[in-house]
Structure 1
Amino acid sequence: MSVGAWEPEKAPQQSGEGEKINRELLQRYISAAQSAAPLPESLSPEDRQASYLVRLPTQRWLEESEAWNKEQLWQLIRFFTLAEAQLPGWDAGAESPVIPMAKSLRQRGTPLDRDQLLWIKQHSDNRYLPYGPL
């Protein structure tokens, strides 16, 4: 009789974890953030289904942030702040993409200004925004 080693099965990846971040989708999110209409009205049903984005690892968002300029990042921060409040299933807490995007801006030497910080606080009840847990 032989004794083998048991190895647990690898857990399946969360939806979207292995996928590239779709920049065309993010561009649509930027447009939605700039719109005066509420997000549920500004987005197609397919675009509202991408809530897996809020659960991507921080490092993925830091890398993705490099592809966007300061204004685009601010609009993405606005989008994800509003999405958490307006779209079901988009709540992210301490894992919000807003946190690594704000960190990316700080690393560039262009941190969020006072008005932007106030806007985030006025439009979100996520206590971790914009800089994450202490």
Structure 2
Amino acid sequence: MSVGAWEPENQASNDQSSTEIDRALLAKIIDIVGEDSGETAPDLKSIDQEIQLAHWLAGVPAAQWLTEAAHWNENQVWALIRFFALAEMQLPDWRGGAESPVIPLAKSLRQRKAPLQREQLLWIRQHSDNRYLPYGPL
């Protein structure tokens, strides 16, 4: 008698990497935050309920965010970065920590040779208490 390792037939059902990112939802987020420089920080507590309840976005794997970022221009990626930084502070259940979408989104900008500027880095520090932003754990 041999003993083998049991592997479930459908691992994808428990795999977060199979989570589909809804681009229409991201477009709503970008509209709310705006594509400008981001000097002002919007109050996210009064935004659409659908977005407030989309805290599952904070748990999407980094590789998937890197792929998704390719569909957006630099200003739109910056708007998403601002939203996720603010969401961690203002919305319940939006804790990203070391897995925050801000980290792969910022990496996507570096890969485009358009890294975050000093003013943007200062904005993130001013509007977030997540010590891992924007570059992740060391």
TM-score between the two structures when normalised by the length of structure 2:
0.85
What SS is found at the alignment partner of 2:18? Answer: coil
What SS is found at the alignment partner of 1:76? Answer: helix
How big is the shift at 1:51? Answer: 0.8
Find the partner of 1:38 among 30, 36, 43: 43
1:116 — aligned with what?
A: 120
How big is the shift at 1:97? Answer: 0.4
RMSD: 2.0
Which range is displaced more, 51-60 or 30-39?
Answer: 30-39
* Fraction of identical pairs, as percent: 51
Matched, 1:95 2:99: yes
- Moved beyond 6 Å, runs of 4+: none
2:80 — aligned with what?
A: 76
Q: Which amino acid aligns with 1:97?
A: P
Q: Which amino acid aligns with 1:39?
A: L
Q: Distance in 1 between matches of 2:27 and 2:53?
A: 16
Give deviations 1:57-113, integer Å, cap 9, x for gaps: 110000000000000000000000000111100001010000001001011111000
TM-score between the two structures when normalised by the length of structure 1:
0.87
Q: Distance in 1 between matches of 2:78 and 2:118?
A: 13
2:59 — aligned with what?
A: 55
How big is the shift at 1:20? Answer: 1.9
Equivalent pairs counted in the alignment come to 131
Q: Which amino acid aligns with 1:130?
A: P
Unaligned runs of 5+ in 2: 35-39
How big is the shift at 1:40? Answer: 1.6
